[in-house]
C-alpha cells in the first residue's frame, strides 16, 4: 500500500519561486507594453518610462530583496505572495497568448 507524502516546499524554494514569478511578470509586462498595453500601476509605469531594462532589473532586484527579508522574518507571507503571483503570471501569460 502506497503512503501519501505531503510535498511542502522549503523556504528557499519559495523564495526562488517568488523571484522567478516576478521575473516572468516583468518579461510578460515588457512584451505586452511593447505590443501596445499600458501599465496601470503608476510606480511600475514610471519605471517603464525610464526604460525596459531598468524596469526589469529593478523589479527582479526588489523581489530578491523582499524574498530575503521575508525568508528571515515571515515565511507565511512569502507563501501568500507566491500564490498571488501565480495568478498574476497566469493572467499575464493569457494576455500574451491572446493578444
Per-residue pLDDT tens for 46-88? 999 999 999 999 999 999 999 999 998 888 999 999 999 999 9
Q: Between 75-98 and 11-34, two packed helices, what is the crossing angle to 10 degrees?
A: 30
- Side-chain half-sphere CA neighbours of 4 within 13 A: 2
User: Is this prediction's pTM over 0.85?
Assistant: yes
How far lies 89's CA from each of 27, 79, 93, in Å? 10, 15, 6
Cell of 12: 528557499
The answer to whether residues 33 and 94 touch, using CB atoms and an 8 Å cutoff, is: no
Task: Inform me whether the pLDDT recorded for 7 exceeds 70.
Answer: yes
Amino acid at each position: 500500500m502506497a503512503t501519501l507524502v505531503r510535498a511542502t516546499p522549503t523556504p528557499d524554494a519559495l523564495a526562488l519561486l517568488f523571484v522567478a514569478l516576478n521575473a516572468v511578470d516583468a518579461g510578460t509586462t515588457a512584451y505586452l507594453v511593447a505590443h501596445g498595453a499600458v501599465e496601470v500601476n503608476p510606480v511600475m509605469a514610471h519605471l517603464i518610462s525610464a526604460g525596459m531594462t531598468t524596469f526589469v532589473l529593478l523589479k527582479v532586484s526588489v523581489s530578491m530583496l523582499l524574498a530575503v527579508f521575508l525568508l528571515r522574518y515571515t515565511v507565511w507571507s512569502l507563501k501568500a505572495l507566491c500564490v498571488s503571483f501565480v495568478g498574476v503570471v497566469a493572467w499575464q501569460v493569457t494576455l500574451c497568448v491572446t493578444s
